[in-house]
Amino acid sequence: MIDLDPQGNSTSYLLGKPSSDVEPNVAGFFEQTLSFSFNVQPASAFVVNTPFEGLDLMASSPALNELQVKLESRQKIYKLREALVQLAKEYDRIYIDTPPALSFFTRSALIGASGCLVPFDCDSFSRQALYALMENVNEIKADHNPGLAITGIVVNQFQPRAKLPQRMVDELISEGLPVLAPYLPSSVKIRESHEACMPMIYLDPAHKITLALSELHQVIESQRG
């Protein structure tokens, strides 16, 4: 996991402490791209272990906010892609948590990634954001990353008994968009997972949200081949 969001929620979730307390981190990786040096460390040097088997993390940092302007002005937009090429030799899968806005870090991720998952919360604002993101993905695909694709739309906070969520999802499907099933239901258990800093598969393996997440993961993996 690479946490590119300066808020560092994924980092706090996986390590149980604020991203400001974690070193090395992804900010250190980007900082070294700003200075010419013969002692450049590989991307793997900025990765830390998590308590969970098989999962390592390139942690976020509040310093990303300050670095963004410098990285943009020095045109370092392809540095993350170079890091992903290195890390792909060591890991089966690499997931990137991006900021919600289309920032330098989000664009860097889309330029380097093979696909993106788009969350959809079944409301009109989320739908507008979905269409805007699709336009951005298509532009980046045309200009920088021909292999980029939307792997799927992840339906979140789904209420099966409510008419509006089902109608909105049906409309996306009718438009030919890659909506993934199963849909993730609303659950207070997710908040408990966040508070405990423990993924659902460890907190409550038999819970309905855990089973839905596991099935969704299998669907995503089957698409990748």
- According to the model, what pLDDT value does residue 39 have? 81
pLDDT value of residue 80: 98
pLDDT band at 187 (very low <50, low <70, confident <90, very high): very high
pTM higher than the cut 0.85: yes
Q: Return d(Cα 206, Cα 162) in angstroms, integer.
A: 25
Share of the chain above pLDDT 70, in %: 100
CA dist 225 → 35, 81, 220 (Å)? 39, 22, 9
Tens of pLDDT, residues 10-65: 999 999 999 999 999 999 999 999 987 778 899 999 999 999 999 999 999 999 99
For residue 189, report the phi and psi dihedrals to the nearest 5 degrees.
-65, -30
Q: Are 70 and 34 in contact (CB under 8 A)?
A: yes
CATH superfamily membership of 1-113: P-loop containing nucleotide triphosphate hydrolases (3.40.50.300)
Point out which residues pair with 2 in neighbouring strands.
Answer: 58, 96
Give tens-digit pLDDT for 55-92.
Answer: 999 999 999 999 999 999 999 999 999 999 999 999 99
C-beta of residue 178 within 8 angstroms of C-beta of residue 130: no
Query: pLDDT by residue (tens digit) across 119-165?
Result: 999 999 999 999 999 999 999 999 999 999 999 999 999 998 899 99
Q: What is the pLDDT of residue 225?
A: 60
- The whole-number pLDDT of residue 104 equals 97
Could you please report the per-residue DSSP string of 175-216? TT--EESSPPBP-HHHHHHHHHT--HHHH-TTSHHHHHHHHH
How much is the pLDDT for 49?
97
Q: Reduce the secondary structure of 130-180 to three states and give it as a string.
A: HHHHHHHHHHHHHHCCCCCEEEEEEECCECCCCHHHHHHHHHHHHCCCCEE
Task: Find how far residue 100's CA is from the centre of its chain.
Answer: 10
Asked if residue 89 lies in contact with residue 62, where contact means CB atoms within 8 angstroms, the answer is no
pLDDT score of 115: 95
- How far apart are alpha carbons 87 and 84 in whole angstroms? 5
